[in-house]
Structures are given as structure tokens and as C-alpha cells.
Amino acid sequence: MGLLLVFLPADFRIAGHVYDALPDPVGWLLVLSGLKSLRGHLDVDIALWFGWVALAVSVPLWFPQLVEHLPTVSTTHASALLPSAAKHGRVTDPSLLWALSLPQAAFSLLLVKSIGDAGALRLPRDVFVAGRFGLLQWAFGATILLPPIAFGADRVGLVNSTLLGIGLINLAFIYYLFRVHRRTWLGGPGPLLIHPRNRDGTKRVENDEGRPPV
């Protein structure tokens, strides 16, 4: 849920400044709280450290008065890279935005690696977790490497494809965290059992269903 606050925008305008109604610092506090509960099940110490760095970075970035003083690029370059962001003639330097996003990307990469490796070492092997989170490792590695290439190439198509890919990867990350969060070896409560009841209120155990699927 914390990552949803971080990744989903909810902008509103006050006195000419744009604020986010879903503050990233609050999201990161929820993320760190949840991550601490994983420490008894996974090796997430380094990911936790990057989470604190991402929290520290997100605090000043929530205030538009501070963001407006970040280095910017000219309209010509901005319109070539991010046409929708060139509304006021200047946009924040993409290379700086990429640097500021590195703690978040490193956190995501380390967390999916820890979960994926743990799933692969399970006996029996958790094929679902090992496969999905193993793929996410490569995806988050790409989110770190591709933006400098895309912005450096100054090609609108490449930039738009890169930004779309980053968004989809983050959404997939959140989705699969929800899919696996009930696993007991991740500290979850186990499969959700649905017990149909008869008209008199007694349970019909013969049709139990468990979610999420193993």
C-alpha cells in the first residue's frame, strides 16, 4: 500500500503550486514499516537502507517551492524529450530526475531479488515467486540503465517507450507483491480460506477454496 502512495499521482493546485495529495514520504514510511516485518524472514537490510534514502529524497521533493528551484533545461530540449512537461517553457533536467530516482530503483531491485532468491531456495521451490520476481530483477535493472540512454539519444519515441516501460514495471511490482503477501515464509497469514455456509449457518467444508493460488 505504501508503494501505491509513492507511484500514484494525485496532483492538486494551490496558489499556483502543484502538490501531491498522496505524499511520497507517507508512502515510504508505510513501505519501511512493512519492510521491517520482513527482516525476520528475508535479508532486506540493504534494501531497508535504500528505503530510508528514498524517504529522505522524497521529503523535499514533495514541496513544489523547492522543486521549482532545481536545474532546468530549455524549452527546445524539453519539448523534444517530454512534450507534455514543457507547458511552462522549462522542465527539470531529466538527468537530475534520474539521479534522484536511483534510491527508489535500487530499493525495488534489491527487494525483488531477496524475494525471488528466497522463493528459488524453498523446498519445494516456489516456482511462481522465483519466476515472477526473477524477471522483475532484470526489469528493474533496465529501469536504472535505460533512462540515461533514452534521454541522451534525444529521441522522443525512445523516451516515451522507456517511461511507459518504467510505469508498467512498477505496477507489475506492486501487483505481484499483493499476490504473494499471504505466504507464510514471507511472514504472511497463509492462504485465505473461504468457507461456504449452509442456510442454517453451518460450514460446508467440502467446497473450500484457497487464495492466492500456490
Residue with the larger pLDDT of the pair 42 and 152: 42
pLDDT digits (tens, 9 = 90+) for 123-157: 999 999 999 999 999 999 998 998 888 877 767 77
Domain boundary assignment for the chain: 2-181
Residue 88, pLDDT score: 41
pLDDT digits (tens, 9 = 90+) for 173-186: 999 999 999 999 99
> Long-range contacts made by residues 41-44, C-beta under 8 angstroms, separation at least 24?
41/118, 41/185, 41/186, 41/187, 42/114, 42/115, 42/118, 42/186, 43/114, 44/110, 44/111, 44/114
Q: Are 61 and 67 in contact (CB under 8 A)?
A: yes
Taking Cα atoms as reference points, which of 164, 166, 44 lies closest to residue 107?
44
Q: Are 162 and 142 in contact (CB under 8 A)?
A: no
Which residue do the cell numbers 522522443 mark?
A: 156
pLDDT digits (tens, 9 = 90+) for 68-126: 776 665 433 443 333 334 334 445 667 777 888 899 999 999 999 999 999 999 999 99
